[in-house]
């Protein structure tokens, strides 16, 4: 809506367009945000999950890494949408080793302006969040976005930890986010429903499904990504609070018992007396 | 040892609250509950093993920063070594904050009691349910956020005293404008029985069959990702690796192929029933009971059979 209005005014007023645009932005209370999007790598969703070294390490053999879907599809794309309507910048940040630069380039190809890599193995959420919070503190952002969780460790921890480190409000699992000046109105998934909340910038938000639609990078984006700035920063020494000691795979299911589609009474009876779930 | 359990009492007590108190009781030692608001019958938590409830009833529509301050104050007062949450939206915001504030290691989505034979390690789901990991916590204080349906609530005692507690929680910085919980909805993460359907159902107009079966069973409804993506069903019903991860007692899947990303979110289910027209559908490999047939015929028949069973039991 707002965009359309701008275009009409720009057409009819030629050289004064810059002034008018600035005026419109002012009148409509548009806030140019500096947005930081935290991204993590995760194994491609079709990867075979296996472990090595006596089940103490994830077996990376043949594993393709992707940008964690929640970070890419929802946090990054929503950040880009905000930039497209109100201006501002989108910086991505990851804590990882040089091997992670492929996923950083992917995020840049989708449209982020620049990237920061904190050069360390992300040992646990506390360590990772501490690194990001430190960078954010030194570079003051209006909005920090994360995905809802990573699909490998599913911790949902980093966003809240960054917020506590920076003493900022944190809205978890937002599925919708509307910007009105420096106020954000958001919807969150709560057990069995939706909660509508409002908070002022600066803010940390974790993003879930509904927030935005996945974008596929185009050729131009991919080319541009090669030359976008990527800053590598040394990590700050910090201890980890937790560690993964070992892993196990779920036990294989025993063979599936096939039931005659015309005999649902038998299925119900089995669910009751054999499986004991109803 | 003392453990502290945070219970969100604003919308009444739900099953996950009893699970969290039961879990804390099994850790051994005293179990103190901290809560806020006026609505819930918090003394009832004593029946599951709580010794005492501390409540700041002046706090309502409390935000995550306030809960963090409230729980931190209570943890200090009672000298808690372990703090237990149920792994819901509030915990996902508060537990990480508290971890930083108290310098306490956090285990999110715990599915077992800690193994203390050699340190302190807890089992969690990793790779979206494709594996389990054992996380060790190295700090003196520990925070555990318990995955719903990981432990059965157990009665263990009688109602306990509820004491007023000044949480010094400060002001809210997040304003709650509205809470929308559809009437009669069974929340998916808590549901013990789930009926789910996929693209095989052909269109949103056919979901009556799914809802009828869910209603007959008293189950929640769920769906595969494409079904939510095309808007046949709401996003919050989407289960799988990039949706909600669930572990009900019974998961019935009709017209879902069983792609690896779908299985990731549901293979923690105790019993899986698959209804599919394709004998080669990968889901049969993950199923306990399979029905090779047309969901359009099988679902109504199953609903009738469930109704008949319920009428006679
Ligand atoms: C990164 C990524 C993340 C993903 N995350 C998820 C996720 O979280 N959750 C998820 O579900 N998917 C996810 N997917 C998608 C997943 O790969 C599958 O595409 C999806 O699960 C398929 O949905 P479906 O089984 O409903 O549809 P289909 O694969 O089209 O299967 C339909 C099934 O219905 C059967 N059928 C057809 N007609 C009938 C009938 N009349 N009666 C009975 N059966 C019938 C067919 O035999 C078939 O098996 C993800 C994919 C990617 C790439």
Position A275 confidence tier, pLDDT thresholds 50, 70, 90:
very high
Question: Quick check: A45 and B178 CB within 8 A?
Answer: no
In a domain? residue A71: yes
* Substitution candidate for ligand 1 out of A41, A42, A45, A47 with most atoms within 8 A of CB: A45
Burial of A31 (0-12, 13-18, 19+ CB in 10 A): middle
> Closest Cα of chain A to B179: distance in Å?
4
B206 C-beta closer than 6 A to ligand 1: no
Residues A223 and A94 in one domain: yes
A-B Cβ pairs (cutoff 8 Å, strict): 269
In a domain, A271, yes or no: no
B110 band by pLDDT with thresholds 50, 70 and 90: very high
Same structural domain, A116 and A41 = yes
Q: Which of A123, A174, A277 to mutate to test the interface with B (most CBs of B within 10 A)?
A: A277
Q: Residue A159 and residue B180: Cβ atoms within 8 Å? A: no
Cα distances from B296 to residues A259, B212, B259, B291, in angstroms, run 16, 12, 21, 12
Task: Give bridge partners of residue A246 from the DSSP assignment.
Answer: B134
B242 close to ligand 1 (CB < 6 Angstrom):
yes
pLDDT in tens, B20-73: 999 999 999 999 999 998 877 899 999 999 999 999 988 888 899 999 999 999
| B2 touching chain A per CB within 8 A | no
Q: What is the pLDDT of residue B220?
A: 95
Residues A124 and A224 in one domain: yes
Please state, as a whole number, how many other Cβ atoms lie within 10 Å of the Cβ of residue A29.
Answer: 12
Q: Do B64 and A160 touch (CB under 8 A)?
A: yes
- The pLDDT value recorded for residue A10 is 40
Pair A101, A187 in one domain: yes
Is residue B177 assigned to a domain? no
Q: Please give the pLDDT value at position A5.
A: 42
**Which tens digits make up the pLDDT trace of B155-168?**
989 999 999 999 99
B281 CA → ligand 1 middle, Å: 10
Pocket test for ligand 1, best of B209, B210, B246, B255 (most atoms within 8 A of CB): B255
B234 assigned to some structural domain: yes
pLDDT band at A7 (very low <50, low <70, confident <90, very high): very low
Which among A11-15, A192-196, B79-83 has the top mean pLDDT? B79-83
**Phi, psi for residue B148 in degrees, rounded to 5:** -55, 150
Can you tell me which residue has the tokens 């060790």?
Answer: B136
Residue B227 and residue B141 share a domain = no
> Do residues A51 and A104 share a domain?
yes
Cα B260 to averaged position of ligand 1 atoms, centre (Å): 9
pLDDT band of residue A99 (cuts 50, 70, 90) is very high
Same domain assignment for residues B302 and B200: yes
Residue ranges of alpha helices (H) inside B125-207 are none
Q: Which of B108, B131, B164 is the last residue of a domain?
A: B164
What is residue A240's three-state secondary structure? coil
ipTM score assigned to the predicted complex = 0.89
- Cβ contact A10:A22 at 8 Å: no
Show residues of chain B in contact with A261, CB under 8 Å: 291-294, 297-298, 301
Q: Do residue A26 and residue A83 come from a single domain?
A: no
Structural domain includes residue A216: yes
Tokens of B7: 């219970």
B137 in A contact zone (CB under 8 Å): yes
Of the three residues B164, B196, B217, the one that is the final residue of a domain is B164
| Domain identity same for A3 and A107 | no
Residues B131 and B246 in one domain: no
Please name every residue paired with A158 in a beta bridge, in sequence order, or none if there are none: none
Ligand 1 lined by B233 (C-beta under 6 Å): no
What CATH number does the domain containing A205 carry? 3.40.50.620
My answer on whether A36 and A158 are in the same domain is yes
Q: For residue B179, tell me if it sits in a domain.
A: no
Domain containing residue B220: CATH number: 3.40.50.1220
- Check pocket membership of B196 for ligand 1, CB cut-off 6 A: no
Per-residue pLDDT tens for A173-187?
Answer: 999 999 999 999 999
- Closest CA relative to residue A75, chosen from A37, A105, A110, A32: A37
Q: Does B153 share its domain with B200?
A: no
Who's near B41: CB < 8 A, 6+ residues apart? Answer: B13
Q: Which of A60-74, B184-198, B260-274 has the lowest mean pLDDT?
A: B184-198
B10 in the same domain as B156:
yes
| Chain A CB within 8 Å of residue B88 CB | yes
pLDDT at A20: 57
**DSSP assignment, residue B171?**
-
Q: Specify whether A9 is located in the same domain as A93.
A: no
- Looking at the partner chain, which of B103, B250, B261 has a beta carbon nearest the beta carbon of A278? B250
Residue B42 domain boundaries: 2-164
- Do B127 and B265 have their domain in common? no
Q: In this structure, are A15 and A71 located in the same domain?
A: no
CA-to-CA distance for B10 and B39, rounded, in angstroms? 6
Kindly state whether residue A255 falls inside one of the protein's structural domains: no
Alpha-carbon dihedral B152, B158, B159, B161, rounded to 10 degrees: -120
Verify whether the Cβ–Cβ distance A277 to B174 is below 8 Å. no
Residue among B298, B110, B271, B128 at smallest CA distance from B193:
B271
Nearest by CB: B242 against A69, A265, A270: A69
Per the model's pLDDT, the better-predicted residue between B60 and B291 turns out to be B291
- Beta bridge mates, B132: A248, B125
How does pLDDT run across B175-193, given as a tens digit for each residue? 999 988 776 667 788 899 9
Contact A242 B138 (CB under 8 A): yes
A202 cis-preceded (ω within 30 degrees of 0): yes
CA of A211 to the centre of ligand 1 (A): 22
Q: Flag whether pLDDT at A4 surpasses 80.
A: no
Same domain? For B116 and B20 the reply is yes
Answer whether B76 contacts ligand 1 (Cβ < 6 A): no
Cβ B258 vs Cβ B274: under 8 Å: yes
Q: Given CB atoms, is B173 within the 8 Å cutoff of chain A?
A: yes
Residue A71 has what DSSP assignment? Answer: I
Whether B180 is in a domain gets the answer no
How many structural domains comprise chain A? Answer: 2
Q: Answer yes or no: do B27 and B130 share one domain.
A: yes
Q: Which of B128, B188, B229, B257 to mutate to test the pocket of ligand 1 (most atoms within 8 A of CB)?
A: B257
Q: Residue B87 sits in a domain of what CATH number?
A: 3.40.50.620
A124 assigned to some structural domain = yes
B13 and B81 within one domain: yes
What sign for the dihedral angle of Cα B74, A190, B273, A263? positive
Residue A76 located in a structural domain: yes
Q: Where are the alpha helices (DSSP H) in chain A?
A: 2-13, 17-27, 69, 77-86, 101-110, 125-139, 158-166, 219-227, 264-273
Task: Give the pairing type, strands B82-86 and B142-146.
Answer: parallel
Residue B203 is classified by DSSP as S
Residue at token pair 């069974």: B186
Range of the domain at A226: 31-234
**A78 assigned to some structural domain:** yes
| Domain shared by B254 and B296, yes or no | yes
User: Do A157 and B309 count as a contact with CB atoms less than 8 A apart?
Assistant: no
| A10 and A102 share one domain | no
Residue nearest to atom 53 of ligand 1 (CA): A45
Residue A252 has pLDDT above 90, yes or no: no
B123 lies in some domain:
yes
Task: Tell me which residue has tokens 């013990």.
Answer: B192
- In angstroms, what is the span from residue B201 Cα to ligand 1's centroid? 11
Total number of domains constituting chain B = 2
| Domain-embedded: residue A15 | yes
pTM: 0.88
What does the alpha-carbon distance between residue A166 and residue A204 come to, in Å, rounded to a whole number? 9
Residues 94-133 of chain B with CB under 8 A from chain A are 94-101, 103-109, 121, 124-128, 130-133
**Do residues B205 and B153 both lie within one domain?**
no
Would you mind telling me the total number of residues written for chain A in this entry? 278
Same structural domain for residues B16 and B142?
A: yes
If 0-12 CB within 10 Å is exposed, 13-18 middle and 19+ buried, where does residue A98 land?
exposed
Beta carbons of B179 and A173 less than 8 Å apart: no
Rounded distance between C-alpha atoms, residue A59 and residue A52, angstroms: 5
| Mode of pairing for the β-strands spanning A183-190 and A193-200 | antiparallel
Whether residues A19 and A69 share a domain: the answer is no
Residue for token pair 């976005």 = A145
On the question of pLDDT at B236 being above 50, the answer is yes
Among A39-43, B45-49, B213-217, B236-240, which stretch is predicted with the lowest mean pLDDT? B236-240
């Amino acid at each position: 809506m707002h965009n359309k209005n701008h275009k009409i005014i720009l057409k009819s007023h030629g050289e004064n367009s810059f002034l008018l645009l600035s005026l419109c932005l002012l009148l409509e209370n548009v806030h140019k945000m500096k947005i930081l999007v935290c991204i993590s790598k995760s194994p491609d969703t079709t990867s075979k999950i296996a472990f090595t070294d006596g089940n103490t390490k994830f077996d990376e053999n043949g594993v393709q890494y992707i940008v964690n879907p929640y970070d890419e599809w929802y946090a990054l794309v929503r950040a880009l949408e905000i930039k497209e309507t109100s201006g501002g910048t989108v910086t991505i940040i990851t804590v990882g080793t040089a091997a992670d630069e492929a996923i950083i380039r992917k995020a840049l190809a989708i449209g982020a302006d620049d990237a920061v890599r904190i050069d360390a193995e992300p040992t646990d959420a506390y360590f990772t969040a501490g690194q990001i919070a430190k960078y954010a503190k030194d570079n003051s952002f209006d909005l920090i976005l994360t995905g809802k969780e990573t699909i490998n460790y599913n911790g949902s921890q980093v966003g809240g930890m960054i917020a506590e480190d920076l003493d900022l409000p944190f809205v978890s699992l937002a599925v919708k986010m509307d910007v009105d000046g420096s106020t954000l109105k958001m919807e969150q998934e709560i057990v069995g429903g939706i909660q509508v909340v409002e908070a002022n910038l600066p803010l940390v938000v974790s993003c879930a499904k509904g927030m935005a639609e996945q974008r596929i990078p185009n050729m131009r984006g991919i080319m541009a990504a090669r030359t976008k700035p990527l800053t590598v920063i040394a990590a700050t020494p910090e201890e980890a609070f937790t560690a993964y000691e070992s892993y196990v795979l779920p036990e294989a299911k025993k063979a599936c018992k096939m039931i005659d589609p015309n005999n649902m009474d038998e299925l119900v009876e089995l669910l009751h007396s054999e499986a004991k779930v109803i | 040892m003392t453990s502290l359990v945070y219970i969100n009492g604003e919308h009444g007590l739900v099953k996950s609250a009893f699970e969290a108190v039961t879990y804390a009781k099994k850790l051994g030692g005293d179990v103190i509950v901290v809560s806020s608001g006026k609505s819930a019958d918090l003394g009832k938590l004593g029946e599951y093993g709580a010794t005492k409830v501390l409540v700041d009833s002046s706090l309502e529509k409390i935000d995550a920063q306030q809960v963090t301050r409230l729980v931190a104050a209570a943890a200090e007062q009672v000298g808690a070594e372990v703090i237990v949450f149920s792994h819901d939206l509030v915990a996902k915001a508060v537990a990480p904050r508290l971890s930083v504030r108290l310098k306490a290691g956090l285990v999110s989505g715990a599915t077992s009691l800690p193994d203390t034979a050699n340190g302190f390690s807890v089992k969690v789901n990793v790779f979206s349910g494709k594996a389990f990991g054992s996380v060790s916590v190295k700090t003196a204080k520990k925070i555990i956020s318990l995955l719903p349906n990981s432990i059965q609530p157990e009665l263990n005692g009688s109602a306990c005293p509820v004491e007023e507690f000044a949480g010094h929680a400060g002001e809210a910085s997040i304003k709650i404008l509205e809470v929308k919980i559809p009437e009669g909805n069974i929340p998916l993460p808590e549901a013990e029985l789930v009926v789910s359907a996929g693209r095989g159902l052909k269109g949103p107009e056919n979901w009556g069959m799914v809802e009828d079966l869910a209603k007959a069973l008293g189950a929640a409804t769920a769906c595969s990702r494409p079904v939510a993506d095309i808007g046949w069903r709401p996003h919050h019903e989407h289960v799988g690796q990039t949706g909600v991860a669930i572990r009900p007692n019974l998961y019935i899947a009709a017209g879902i192929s069983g792609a690896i990303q779908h299985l990731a979110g549901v293979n923690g289910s105790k019993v899986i029933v698959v209804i599919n027209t394709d004998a080669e559908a990968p889901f049969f490999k993950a199923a306990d009971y399979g029905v090779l047939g047309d969901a359009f015929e099988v679902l109504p028949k199953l609903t009738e059979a469930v109704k008949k069973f319920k009428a006679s039991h």
